[in-house]
Chains A and B, each alone.
Chain A
Amino acid sequence: MTEHTYLEALNLAMHEEFARDPGVVVFGEDVGGDKGGVFGATKGLAAAFGDQRVFNSPLGESGIAGLAIGLGLMGHHAIAEFQFADYILPAVNQIMSEAARMRYRTAGDWTAPIVFRTPYGGGVHGGFYHSQTTDKVFAGQPGLRIVTPSTVYDAKGLLKAAIRSEDPVLFYEHKRLYRSLKADIPDEDYVVPLDKAQVLQQGDDITVMAYGTMLQHALNAAKALQAEDISTEVVDLRTLYPLDQETILAAAKKTGKVLLISEDTKEASIINNVAAIIAEQALFDLDAPVQQLAGPLAPGMSYALEDEFLVSAEQVQAAMRELAQF
C-alpha cells in the first residue's frame, strides 16, 4: 500500500495500462510533452511512452472524439481527454452518433472501445464553463457507459477497467478531488467493475446516495450524525449509466428513507433517474418520500456566488437529519 492522491492514482492507472497494452494511446489538449495536461493527469506519459502514443491534439473536441473512435475501430484503446467536462459539448455528435451506436448499428461487426476522460464539477471558482457536471447529457444513451470515481482506490481501478473495456466509457473525474483526496491504495494490479455502485458505509436509519464532492459531504455528515444516534447507509453511485439498480434498490429498501444528492442542477439529472428506479420498484418499502438535494435551476455556476450555488456540507447534514426524523 502506498499513499496517493486521486490525481496520482489516475496517472498511475494510465502508466500501468500503457505498459500492459502497447495499443493504448492518450491525447487531448495539452496532454502531451512535459506539461501532461492542465491538471497534470498525463504527466510523465510522453517521456515514458513516446509522443506517438501520447500527444497534444489541436483545440477541437469533435476532432478529439472522432480520432479516438477511428482508433477504436482499428482495435486501439484510445484515451481521449477533454480538458473540462464543459468542453465536451462540441464532441456530443461524435460520442452519441458514432461511439455509442457503432457496436449496435453493425450488430457487433465494428466496435469503438474508448475512454473519454474529463474533469467535472465545481468548487474551484471555475465560473460557468469550468464547473459543470455534463454527465447527464449522455445518460440514457444505451451503448455508452458513464462512470466516476469518488475514492482514490476507484480512481485507479475504475480507470484501468475503463481502458480495458470494449465499450465506450465516459470517465468523469471530479477536479476538486484531484488533490484534496488522499488514501493508501494497493500497489498491485486491480480493477473496479464498470457496472456496480458501492456501499461505502452500512447503516439502518437513512440511505444517502451521491458521487463526487457530494459524497464526501455525505460521509462527513454520516460520521457527525452518529453522535445523534442516526445510522446512515452511504452509497457511492459510481456507475452513473447504466445505473446499478440492484445495489440502489437494496440500499433504498434497507432503510426506507432515501436522500439523493447531486451538485448538478436538479432537473433531468442523474439522481432523477435513481429516484425513478426507486419510485417504480421500491415504493412500498419506503417510509418517506425520496428526497433530492441538488443545485439550483440556474444556467451556470456564478463565479462570485459559487458557495451559494453549491450544495454545502451543512445543507447535506441538515437534510439527512430531517429525513431521519421524518
Chain B
Amino acid sequence: MKTLAASKLGKDDLIATYRLIKLGRRLDERLWQLNRIGKVAFHISGQGSEVAQAAMIKAFNTKRDYFLPYYRDMTAAMGWGVTAEQIMAGSLGKAADPSSHGRQMPNHYGSVAHRIVSFGSTVTTQYLLATGVAYAALLDHKDYVTLVTTGEGSTAQGDFHEALNIASIKKLPVVFAIENNGYAISTPNREEFAVKQLAERGKAYNMPAEAVDGHDFTATYQAFAKAVSRAEKGKGPTLIEVMVDRLTGHSSDDNQNVYRSKEEMAALKENDNVPLFEKQLSEEKILTPAEIANIDAEIKEMVNQATQAAEKLPAPAAETLLDHVYA
C-alpha cells in the first residue's frame, strides 16, 4: 500500500476525505437500520468501497465535471456534493430527493444541481449515456470531464462494449470506472468473465486501462488523476478497474452467508477499507486515534441530524403522480 503522503494531498484534504469515508460508512449503517425497522423499503450498500470511491472522486473537479454513478456510489455522490440529508430523503421517498423526487427506489443517485446524471436500474445504460455527455463537451468546447461507474457484473452487458468502442473512436474525455467487488449478487467473478482482470479489456479498444487496489487510497487516486489529466489534454478515455469488497449482501433483500463461506467473510472483515484507512491516518500522524474518535462522534451526530431532518420532509403530493410525463 502506498502512503497517504505519497498522494501529495494536504493534511486538510486527507482529513476531509476521511470525514467523507466515515460518513459513507455511518450513513450506510443507518440505512440498514431504517430498513430493518421498516422505514426504508430497500437498501443497496457501498460498505467495502468507501475509500476507493473517495479516492476516485478526489481526482475530479466536482464543480466542473459530470458524474454518472451506479447504485453503490453513495460515498462518491456525497463527495460530489450531495448531502447526507438528501441521500436520506431519497431512501425515505421524499419530494426533496434530488435524484428522483421520491420516484425511484433508493440508491439511484443523481442531482442536476451537482451535475450527477440520473441512473436507472437496467445496468450499464449509463456507460452509453456517458459517451453522449462527453461528446457534448467536444461539441460545445467545454472543458469538463465525465466520470461513469458500474459494478463488474454489468460489464457483461453489450452497452459496456459499445460505450468503450464509441469513446475510443471519438477520443472522448471520459473516465470509465469498474468497481469490482467480486460478486454480481451471488455470482462470483469466475462465472462472470474469463479474463484475469477486466482492465485487460482496455486493449481491445486501444484504450489505456489499469486495475488498482481500492483499499489503497493513494494508488486509486493517482490512477484516476492520470485518467482525468489524459481526458483534459484531449487524449481520450481511460478504463480503471478498482478492486473493492462487498462487506454486506447485494442488497437488503440478500443474505450473502448463503453463498460465501465463513472464512471468506472473516477475511473480508479483516481487510475492511475503513479501519485500514484509519490505521494509515494515525501511522502517518495525520490524525491521532483520539481525533479519529472525535470525528466519528461528529459524523454519528451528523447522521442523526440528517435522519431526523429527512424524516420531517414531506412526501411527494398525490396530485403530482402524472407530472412530467411530457414536456
Contact = CB atoms under 8 A, between A and B. Distances in A.
Interface of A: 23, 25, 52-53, 57-58, 60, 62-63, 65-76, 78, 90, 93-94, 97-98, 101-111, 113, 142-143, 145, 165-167
A75 B112 CA distance: 13
Interface of B: 98-101, 103-104, 110, 112, 117-118, 120-122, 125, 127-136, 138-140, 158-159, 161-163, 165-166, 169, 316, 320, 323-327
Contact of B132 (A60, A67, A105, A165): A67
B325 A70 contact: no
Nearest to A100: B325
B166 A105 contact: no
Given A106-B118, A109-B112, A66 B100 contact: no
B120 A73 contact: no
Contacts of A25: 139
Given A73-B133, A101-B120, A65 B327 contact: no
A69 B125 CA distance: 10
B118 A110 contact: yes
A124 B101 CA distance: 48
Contact of A62 (B134, B140, B159): B159
B135 A104 contact: no
A267 B125 CA distance: 31
Task: Classify the interface of chain B: helix, strand, loop or mixed.
Answer: helix
B166 A63 contact: yes
A169 B281 CA distance: 54
B136 A142 contact: no
B166 A58 contact: yes
Contacts of B138: 52
A93 B325 CA distance: 18
A97 B128 CA distance: 13
B165 A71 contact: no
B313 to A, nearest CB: 15
A167 B132 contact: no
B324 A107 contact: yes
Contacts of A103: 324-327
A63 B131 contact: yes
B128 A105 contact: no
Contact of B323 (A65, A76, A107, A165): A107
B165 A94 contact: no
A70 B120 contact: no
Nearest to B136: A74
B118 A67 contact: no
A70 B169 contact: no
B165 A93 contact: no
B131 A105 contact: no
Among B131, B166, B326: residue with most chain A CB under 10 A: B326
Contact of B325 (A57, A66, A143, A166): A143
A78 B134 CA distance: 14
Contacts of B128: 62-63, 65-67, 69-70, 94
B327 A70 contact: no
B136 A70 contact: yes
A143 B326 contact: yes
Contacts of A53: 139
Nearest to B169: A58
B295 to A, nearest CB: 33
B100 A106 contact: yes
Given A76-B139, A101-B120, A110-B112, A69 B132 contact: yes
B135 A70 contact: yes
9 contacts: A58-B169, A66-B162, A70-B134, A73-B129, A103-B325, A105-B103, A106-B118, A143-B325, A167-B327
Among B104, B128, B324: residue with most chain A CB under 10 A: B128
Given A65-B128, A67-B128, A74-B136, 9 more contacts: A52-B138, A63-B159, A66-B127, A66-B131, A67-B135, A68-B132, A93-B125, A105-B100, A143-B326
Contacts of A111: 327
B136 to A, nearest CB: 4
A84 to B, nearest CB: 18
Given A62-B159, A70-B131, A107-B100, A165 B125 contact: no
Given A66-B129, A70-B131, A94-B128, A105 B120 contact: yes
Closest 9 CB pairs of A and B: A70-B132, A66-B128, A74-B136, A63-B162, A166-B327, A107-B101, A109-B112, A70-B129, A71-B132
Contact of A78 (B129, B132, B159): B132
